[in-house]
Amino acid sequence: MRIVSLIWMVGFWSGLVSGEDAYKYYTWTVTYGTAAPLGVSQQVILINGQFPGPNLDCVTNDNIILNLINNLDQHFLLTWNGIKQRKNSWQDGVLGTNCPIPPNSSYTYKFQTKDQIGTYTYFPSTLMHRAAGGFGALNVYARSVIPIPYPIPDGDFTLLIGDWYTATHKALELMLDSGMPLPYPEGILINGRNASTMSGDPGKTYMFRVSNVGLLTSFNWRIQGHLIKVVEVEGSHVIQNTYDSIDVHVGQSVTALVTLDQPPKDYHIVASARFTEAPLLTATAVLHYSNSEGSVADMPPPPPEGVEWSVEQARSFRWNLTANAARPNPQGSFHYGMMNTTRTLFVANSAPVIEGKQRYAVNGVSYVNPDTPLKLADCLNISGVFSLDGAWRGELATAVVETALHDSIEIVFQNHEDAIQTWHLDGYDFWVVGFGEGNWTESSREGYNLVDAFTRHTTQVYPKYWSAVLVSLDNQGMWNLRSSMWGRQYLGQQLYIRVYDPVHSLANEYDMPTNALLCGRALP
Ligand SMILES: *[C@@H]1O[C@H](CO)[C@@H](O)[C@H](O)[C@H]1NC(C)=O
Ligand SMILES: *[C@@H]1O[C@H](CO)[C@@H](O)[C@H](O)[C@H]1NC(C)=O
Ligand SMILES: *[C@@H]1O[C@H](CO)[C@@H](O)[C@H](O)[C@H]1NC(C)=O
Ligand SMILES: *[C@@H]1O[C@H](CO)[C@@H](O)[C@H](O)[C@H]1NC(C)=O
Ligand SMILES: *[C@@H]1O[C@H](CO)[C@@H](O)[C@H](O)[C@H]1NC(C)=O
Ligand SMILES: *[C@@H]1O[C@H](CO)[C@@H](O)[C@H](O)[C@H]1NC(C)=O
């Protein structure tokens, strides 16, 4: 049993007075290892010997120089989920922007957590590696000069929660390659196990950084007997409402404060699967009071069922317009509701059978990875790698949507399927302005929240619902819009958005890094 130490985190919170835009250097080695998170010994992916990988704790505007050494027998990349990589899609770590790191090779990522705060994650973007581990927390703390809209907590805990299979990632790849969908997961893990303990002192308030690192399954998260006060969601300071439990969908993160104000004993921390018809999967951890007089009792009751409860909760997350963001100005000072959108991008997911195999698609087109990253092809003028929208041909294509830098667009995610969806956009966060049942129509816009919706990088789309988001395209580059549900992403439910300006300017986008890996048609 692991007792997580709080002392180090308290020191971290109080030590943030050093100079700005620090450089932080890391060397991470990726290897296979063995673990038995569900009681069965299996192969997992380790980073520096750890499963899950180490926390990447940093401060707003830190420069991260991270040498990633791949000692797997397959190519590998990490992506930094929610880190916007301003002007720098070169460091995004997905196959449309980077050549994968071959076995026994390395690549040094260089990126800045520019103007960001909050709870994020990193994870492998290649093949089905994410099913085996290699993920971890990426926590961006506020600079000491920027007041945050809540008292500095007495410590913080990272909870990486996700569904889990005992099959290896290669077995899952084979299954998907042969045209079968992912099976139902066998379990849920909290920090790579089903019984971790988090220990705190009575009367104190702790931050819980909760992320869904799973492949397929939404979960409901709660702490027996305690109220959860949500303070930040994917970089936005939200109105600080309290909840008995919260839903977190695949790829999303939520930051909450919990005060240890109950009788001193041990309490269950519970994550249970949502929106599934199969048997309810549950993982637990223990919240231990340092003066505890008793061990955990019965499990708390299950969360409310049904889509409506979750939709209502999602609508209750609002931007705190007067709170600071990463910069010392109110979040509401940019009136997103006044944006003039130049385009509506419809994104309808589907699960077609193509050439006899299960695939997933966007508007009927199932994405296939090119042999050369789109970003490299674009920069090196290699033609024929991708087709811009309007020129997509057939059911399988390397689809890229063309947009202009500084445009604003509306994206309508339409889900005709019975399965919940979660969609992520790299390089940006977007205002989630509405969720609605059935088919989106122009009159759906009348119900948009144009006042205090908040920005995030991943939105859920409920079964047979739509979700609408607004995006201000201020970050030039080649950006992946993808299902966060990794089997769907792997089988084609993704595309890229090329945010482009014909005038080459370093003010808009950095040049190709000198250490960029080359592959495919970019090889000399
Ligand atoms: C990587 O290095 C290991 C140890 O030197 C070696 O056994 C393995 O064959 C190498 N793999 C590849 C793909 O070169
Ligand atoms: C909003 O932020 C302000 C400024 O930091 C803070 O004082 C206030 O408590 C927050 N309001 C809510 C409802 O969270
Ligand atoms: C995790 O532990 C709880 C009880 O502590 C148990 O009910 C549940 O089945 C376990 N889940 C897995 C995936 O082993
Ligand atoms: C949107 O267009 C209106 C009418 O042309 C204009 O008044 C407004 O300033 C524009 N908004 C933005 C954010 O540019
Ligand atoms: C690619 O084409 C653009 C525009 O034609 C040109 O400015 C640029 O130098 C070319 N890049 C390379 C690497 O050839
Ligand atoms: C919603 O859209 C789908 C796909 O276009 C269509 O099959 C269905 O009939 C529509 N439903 C309603 C209620 O209009």
Residue nearest to atom 5 of ligand 4 (CA): 340
Residue 5 binned pLDDT confidence (cut-offs 50, 70, 90)? very low
Q: Is the pLDDT of residue 4 over 70?
A: no
Q: Closest by alpha carbon to 275, among 446, 101, 472, 461?
A: 461
| Percentage of the chain exceeding pLDDT 90 | 88
Residue 95 has pLDDT above 50, yes or no: yes
Poorest-pLDDT segment among 273-287, 310-324, 409-423: 273-287
pLDDT in tens, 338-359: 999 999 999 999 999 999 999 9
**Number of the ligand 1 atom closest to the C-alpha atom of 102:** 13
Question: Cβ(380) to ligand 5 under 6 A?
Answer: yes
Residues 112-120 have a mean pLDDT of: 97
CA 55 to ligand 2 center in whole angstroms:
28
- 191 — alpha (psi -120 to 50), left (phi > 0) or beta? left
CA dist 50 → 47, 136, 192, 352, 432 (Å) = 5, 10, 10, 38, 35
DSSP letter string over 146-167?
A: S--SSPPPS-EEEEEEEEE-SS
Best residue among 184, 189, 196, 284 to mutate for probing ligand 3, ranked by most atoms within 8 Å of CB: 284
Q: What integer is the mean pLDDT of 501-522?
A: 96
> Residue 521: which of 99, 91, 189, 93 has the closest Cα?
99
Atom of ligand 1 nearest to the CA of 71: 1
Q: What does the pLDDT read at residue 306?
A: 86
- Residues 18-46 pLDDT 10s: 456 899 999 999 999 999 999 999 999 99
- 2-141: CATH superfamily: Cupredoxins -  blue copper proteins (2.60.40.420)
Q: Hey, whose CA ends up nearest to atom 12 of ligand 2?
A: 239
For the segment 201-217, the average pLDDT, to the nearest whole number, is 98
Q: Does the pLDDT value for residue 8 go beyond 60?
A: no
Structure tokens at 94: 């997905």
Q: Which residue has the higher pLDDT, 8 or 96?
A: 96
When pLDDT is averaged across residues 198-216 and rounded to a whole number, the result is 98
pLDDT in tens, 433-483: 999 999 999 999 999 999 999 999 999 999 999 999 999 999 999 999 999
Smallest CA separation from ligand 3 atom 1, residue: 283
What is the rounded average pLDDT of the residues 114-134?
98
| pLDDT at 222 exceeding the cut of 50 | yes
Starting from the CA of residue 273, give the closest ligand.
Answer: 3
302 preceded by a cis bond (ω within 30 of 0): no
Take residue 185 and report the two structure tokens written for it.
């997961």
Mutate to test the pocket of ligand 2, among 152, 240, 243, 318 (most ligand atoms within 8 A of CB): 240
In the structure, what pLDDT confidence band is assigned to residue 304 with cuts at 50, 70 and 90? confident
Rank 8-17, 123-132, 274-283 by mean pLDDT and report only the highest: 123-132
The answer, yes or no, to whether any atom of ligand 2 lies below 6 A from the CB of 329, is no
Q: Would the pLDDT of 328 be above 80? A: yes
162 contacts 189 by C-beta, under 8 angstroms: yes
362 SS3 class: strand
Sheet holding 78-81, edge to edge: 56-59, 136-141, 118-124, 78-81
Q: CB–CB of 234/456 below 8 Å?
A: yes
Q: Does pLDDT of 135 surpass 80?
A: yes
Residues near 107 by beta carbon (within 8 Å), at least 6 away in sequence: 67, 68, 98, 101, 515, 517
How far, rounded to the nearest angstrom, does the alpha carbon of residue 199 sit from its chain's CA centroid? 26
Q: How far is the CA of 118 from the centre of ligand 2 (A)?
A: 16
Q: Nearest Cα to 157, choosing from 49, 269, 248?
A: 269
Task: Give residue 341 CA to ligand 4 midpoint distance, Å.
Answer: 10
Ligand 2 atom closest to residue 239's alpha carbon, by position in its atom list:
14
* Residues contacting residue 505 through CB under 8 Å, at least 6 positions apart: none
Tell me if 155-316 shares its fold with 331-522. Answer: yes
Give me the pLDDT at residue 1, please: 33
Domain boundaries, the chain: 2-141, 155-316, 331-522
Question: For residues 222 and 250, is the Cβ–Cβ distance under 8 A?
Answer: no
Atom number, ligand 5, closest to the C-alpha of residue 504: 7
Residue whose CA lies nearest to ligand 4 atom number 12: 339
Q: What pTM value is reported for the model?
A: 0.94
State mean pLDDT over 87-109.
Answer: 98
Q: Considering only residues 277 and 59, tell me which one the structure prediction assigns the higher pLDDT.
A: 59
* pLDDT bracket for residue 7 (50, 70, 90): very low
Q: Can you give the pLDDT at residue 194?
A: 82
Question: CB of 511 closer than 6 A to ligand 5?
Answer: no
Residue nearest to atom 5 of ligand 3 (CA): 284
Q: In angstroms, what is the span from residue 77 Cα to ligand 5's centroid?
A: 27
Nearest CA to ligand 5 atom 12: 380
User: What pLDDT does 10 receive?
Assistant: 41
DSSP string, 429-482: -EEEEEEEES---GGGGGG---SS--EESEEEE-TTEEEEEEEE--S-EEEEEE
Ligand nearest to the CA of 502: 5
| CATH code of the domain made up of 155-316 | 2.60.40.420
Domain 331-522 top-level CATH class: mainly beta
Q: Is 360 helix (H, G, I), strand (E, B) or coil?
A: coil
Say which range, 197-211, 386-400, 438-452, has the weakest mean pLDDT: 386-400
Q: Please work out whether the CB of residue 339 comes within 6 Å of at least one atom of ligand 4.
A: yes
Alpha carbon of 320 to ligand 2 centroid (Å): 6
Let me know: does 136 contact 58? Beta carbons within 8 Å.
no
By alpha-carbon position, which residue is closest to atom 10 of ligand 3? Answer: 283
Whose alpha carbon is nearest atom 8 of ligand 6?
439
Is residue 266's pLDDT more than 90?
A: yes
Choose one of 30, 104, 105, 106 to mutate for the ligand 1 pocket test, by most ligand atoms within 8 angstroms of C-beta. Answer: 104
Q: Are 475 and 372 in contact (CB under 8 A)?
A: no
Atom of ligand 2 nearest to the CA of 240: 14
Cα 501 to averaged position of ligand 3 atoms, centre (Å): 52
The answer, yes or no, to whether residue 184 has pLDDT greater than 70, is yes
Q: With pLDDT > 70 as the criterion, what percentage of the chain qualifies?
A: 96
Mean predicted lDDT score pLDDT of the chain: 94
Predicted pLDDT of residue 297:
86
